[in-house]
């Protein structure tokens, strides 16, 4: 079928536009499996990291709140020291602070439990 020049030009213009809109990069089955596996692993890692960060933040908030109730307002430097502790150290501090009577007890605990 032969189209008039104007219609043929219009056809090719629309055809190019259609191709550009529908263009998809080709992915082999192996690439697709790898992509899906990576995506799945990324989601799992993200959830784990989020859970760990959430647990750490929760421990920090609780220990800092208990310390304030036990020994009074904390200087910013001490707050920052507590925020550098691991979850395990925060749990240990949470138990130890039940026996604290003064800020010096916290300082002594931090000195004794500081990791190099």
Tens digits of residue pLDDT in 68-108: 999 999 999 999 999 999 999 999 999 999 999 999 999 99
3 within domain boundaries: no
Residue 74 DSSP code: P
Please give the mean pLDDT across all residues of the chain. Answer: 85
6 within domain boundaries: no
Alpha-helical segments (H) within the chain: 5-22, 29-71, 76-83, 87-96, 103-113
91 within domain boundaries: yes
11 within domain boundaries: no
Q: How confident is the model at residue 116 (pLDDT cuts 50, 70, 90)?
A: very low
Cβ contacts of 68 within 8 Å, gap of 6 or more = 74
22 within domain boundaries: no
> Given this model, what pLDDT does residue 89 score?
94
Please state, in angstroms and rounded to a whole number, the distance separating the CA atoms of residues 46 and 52. 10
Mean pLDDT of the region 40-47: 79
> Given this model, what pLDDT does residue 54 score?
78
Has residue 31 got a pLDDT over 70?
yes
> Given this model, what pLDDT does residue 24 score?
56
Domain carrying residue 51: 30-114
Q: Are 27 and 35 in contact (CB under 8 A)?
A: yes
> Given this model, what pLDDT does residue 115 score?
61
What are the CA-CA distances from residue 103 to residues 70, 73, 91, 100, 110 (Å)? 9, 9, 18, 8, 11
Number of domains in the chain: 1
Q: Are 103 and 71 in contact (CB under 8 A)?
A: yes
pTM: 0.61
């Amino acid at each position: 079928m032969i189209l008039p020049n104007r219609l043929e030009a219009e056809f090719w213009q629309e055809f190019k536009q259609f191709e550009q809109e529908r263009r998809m990069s080709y992915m082999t089955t192996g690439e697709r499996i790898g992509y899906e596996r990576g995506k799945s692993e990324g989601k799992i890692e993200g959830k784990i990291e989020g859970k760990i960060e959430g647990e750490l933040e929760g421990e920090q908030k609780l220990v800092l709140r208990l310390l304030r109730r036990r020994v009074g307002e904390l200087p910013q430097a001490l707050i920052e020291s507590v925020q550098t502790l691991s979850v395990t150290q925060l749990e240990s501090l949470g138990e130890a602070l039940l026996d604290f009577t003064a800020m010096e007890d916290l300082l002594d605990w931090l000195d004794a439990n500081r990791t190099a």
